[in-house]
Amino acid sequence: MNDGIRTHDRLDHNQELYQLSYVHHGTDPRARVVSIAKAMRLTHGPTSPGVLQSGNRSGMLRSTTVREGGQVKPSLAPGIEHELRFVVPDTKTVPQLYPESTEFAEMPEVFATGFMVGFVEWACIQAIAPHLDEGELSLGVHVDLSHDAATPVGMEVVARVRLEAVEGRSLTFAVEADDAHERICAGSHRRFVVDRARFDAGVARKLA
């Protein structure tokens, strides 16, 4: 660890560089800082209990091939928004995050931070799915999210994400989430578009 920053899984042999960074404090001098221009404050309506809904509000769908030089489709552009709703089950609570951990087992049965992060990633994955070519996928490489309030089992949560910046294959989202009573999460998330076959080949080389 150097100045609070640990970086691993850097597959430099891939054209689609995948770098997974955990930033504890400070700023990686190799990274360009992408600022989130504004907070997202959108309204939403009620959903019946037990119903999972999602909606992509982008109007920029068009078919095109992958650009040369590591570029993405022109339709994968800032402004894409998406909303995902989910009713929290008992399998997504803090004690279920690591069943092997006695420490987690003693924690309250509320929506776990780890599962909340996955929920936000899920919304981002859905947001850009129509804009990826066959064989491409996006991988989460950075999260900067607050967890502002506890959500009990059985309550609906809704994530709203907006693609704010596209730099090559790097995508930065502004995100927030609410439950039926209040905001539970806000921040930013970064994903990287990769070729699945090349990524899998790189992972396989680590096991060889």
Task: Measure the CA–CA gap between 59 and 41, rounded to whole angstroms.
Answer: 20
Tokens read off for 109: 């049965």
Mean per-residue pLDDT for 90-98? 98
How would you list the strands of the sheet with 156-167, edge to edge? 53-56, 81-87, 156-167, 170-179, 183-195, 136-145
190 DSSP 8-state letter: E
Known catalytic residues? 113, 121, 147
Residue 22 is predicted with a pLDDT of 32
Give me the CATH number covering residue 106.
3.10.129.10
Task: Measure the CA–CA gap between 114 and 62, rounded to whole angstroms.
Answer: 34
Question: Which of 202, 203, 131, 201 lies closest to 169 in space, CA to CA?
Answer: 131
> Is 84 within the bounds of a domain?
yes
Tokens read off for 145: 């999210």
**Which structural domain, as residue segments, surrounds residue 197?**
49-57+78-208
Residue 55 is predicted with a pLDDT of 54
Name the strand (E) or helix (H) holding 120: helix 113-128
pTM of this structure: 0.70
Residue 161 is predicted with a pLDDT of 98
> Is 163 within the bounds of a domain?
yes
**Higher pLDDT among residues 82 and 43, named by residue:** 82
Residue 71 is predicted with a pLDDT of 83
Q: Are 133 and 65 in contact (CB under 8 A)?
A: yes
Q: How many CB atoms lie within 10 A of CB 201?
A: 13
> Is 6 within the bounds of a domain?
no
> Is 167 within the bounds of a domain?
yes
Total domains in the fold of the chain: 1
pLDDT at 11 over 70: no
> Is 125 within the bounds of a domain?
yes
